[in-house]
Amino acid sequence: MAVAVRGGRGGGSALRNFFSYRIFVSAMFTLLFLATLSVLFSSHHDSTIGNAYLHRSLVSINSDPLKTRLDLIHKQANDHIALVNAYTAYARKLKLEIAKQLKMFEDLAQNFSDLQSKQNYRSNLFDTDGPLDDDSLKQFEKEVKDKVKFARLLIADSKESYDNQLKIQKLKDTIFAVNELFVKAKKNGAFASSIAAKSTPKSLHCLAMRLMEERISHPEKYRDEDPEPEYEDPTLYHYAIFSDNVIAVSVVVNSVIKNAEEPWKHVFHVVTDRMNLAAMKVWFKMRPIQQAHIEIKSVEDFTFLTSSYVPVLKQLESAKLQNFYFQNSAENATQDVNNMKFKNPKYLSMLNHLRFYLPEMYPTLHRILFLDDDVVVQKDLTALWTIDLDGKVNGAVETCFGSFHRYSQYLNFSHPLVREKFNPKACAWAFGMNIFDLDAWRREKCTEQYHYWQNLNEDRTLWKLGTLPAGLMTFFSKTKSLDKSWHVLGLGFNPSVSMDEIHKAAVIHYNGDMKPWLDIALNQYKELWTKYIDSEMEFVQMCNFGV
């Protein structure tokens, strides 16, 4: 029994030691906490208040029930002072353009300090060793809470300026939204531009109708005449122009003749479609080009151009190809802006592919200069007929620079046959002003080569479409590079072509959608084209070409 009693006393002593240790640890943590508050408090306002408050807290911590409440309010105020000061310092470090916010942060920190320095609060809450005044505490709490609320609102409104992750995310969201709008606008713009480029302007339609009306009203004036012997004279300078645009052809012919030193030696072979043949003939009958010779024919006049011989005509009979070009064109056009231009049916127009049949169309000629209908000639071109092509078939200006306009951009080099036959880094050249050696063409059998590649591309796996890729393949290693001053391109899409470069050029080319006869033409280049329009022609004036 005695042993039990001793054991019980020993256990009680251990229990008392345990509780004493607990009390001691709690007291130490309390002192450490209050000391920390005092340091924070003293860094922003008068140290006397902090010392007095610490002294009062240590002496009277258990004597007044309002003290704990004041401690919490005081801590909340100091925490927000520290937070506001941290944002202020960070803003200065970043040198942000937010002077108004900096001033508000500084004023707010000062207001917190001034609030605790008020005489009423000092005497009733901080400097007294007696009981705290309940009314003063309530008023102090209300003011602190109001300022805390304002501080939180200010920090929330300003957080975006300091939170890098938030700024980055908002920037990403903005970029994504703007990009979506840009892609949509680009598609709509490209579609509208494509429609404008493909459409026949009212002025062009008017001109064609007026010319047809003239032909019908005065048939005796426009009877077909016998071919001139100059059409087959290989000693003269021959041009090939294939187009259904009357005004464009007239500009090309006028610009050549006005800059030619011997205009009587120039022969123009104009080929159009059946619909525009009469209008084209009436124009050059009403406005003959002095001294020059002009032969006008339609595609149908060349009877060898049949679907059994011409791959393009055969492909046009394909229901699949017709569906690709002529059905749901409006819907398909907005699906892929980059490929939308390849949906243009003009790329399978026979007028576009006639250039591959020049030796058969003009069997007596040795050389011929091919010109697109969207070019303007600014100098005498006769030197082109004397250029040594080194046995090559085609003389053309190369268009590559750096990695741009290489064969890889026009042909599908994932196709094994293309990869085997061509160099992806080979330099591309321009179709639109090309001097062709027809004898070399016949010797190299280039038309057969064109047929071979065009037949293989019926499913559009070798190239997207158009005549340039077919030409690059047909005349690969058979093209002589000409000096770039002979042919300057880009006036139909590039507003940055140098005017010095343009004025030095023998031929300028409005390749692209912004043709000079359209309302969407680039204004800075339009006058170079319009000055060759026959503005005295009555139908041009009636159809309001704006010249």
For residues 284 and 273, give the distance between their C-alpha atoms in angstroms, rounded to a whole number.
16
**Token code pair at residue 332:** 């398909």
Q: How far apart are CA 419 and CA 422, in angstroms?
A: 6
pTM of the entire structure? 0.67
- Rg of the Cα atoms in the chain: 44
Give whichever of 91-95, 167-171, 463-467 has the largest mean pLDDT.
Answer: 463-467
Per the model's pLDDT, the better-predicted residue between 121 and 171 turns out to be 171
The H or E element containing residue 269 is strand 266-272
Q: Which domains does the chain have, with CATH numbers?
A: 200-327+338-543 (3.90.550.10)
- Looking at per-residue pLDDT, the higher value among 19 and 367 belongs to 367
pLDDT digits (tens, 9 = 90+) for 28-41: 445 444 444 444 44
Cβ–Cβ under 8 Å, residues 400 and 407: no
* DSSP track, 363-418: TT-SEEEEE-TTEEE-S--GGGGG---TT-SEEEEB--BTTBTBGGGTS-TTSHHH
**Between 10 and 156, where is the model more confident?**
156
CA-closest candidate to residue 294, choices 373, 198, 228, 364: 228
Q: Is 319 helix (H, G, I), strand (E, B) or coil?
A: helix
Mean pLDDT on 293-313: 95
State yes or no: pLDDT of 109 exceeds 80: no
- Determine the Cα–Cα distance for residues 145 and 72; give it in Å rounded to an integer: 11
Please, what is the average pLDDT of the chain?
Answer: 80
End-to-end CA distance of the chain: 131
Of residues 522 and 53, more confidence is placed in: 522
Do 355 and 370 contact (CB within 8 A), yes or no? yes
**CB under 8 Å to 101, separation ≥6 — which residues?**
91, 154, 158, 161
pLDDT surpassing 50 at residue 15? no
Task: Tell me what pLDDT residue 421 has.
Answer: 96
Confidence of residue 45 (pLDDT cuts 50, 70, 90): very low
- Range name among 51-65, 294-308, 405-419 with the lowest pLDDT average: 51-65
pLDDT in tens, 122-167: 676 666 666 777 777 777 777 777 777 777 776 666 665 556 665 6
Taking residues 197-205, what's their average pLDDT?
A: 80
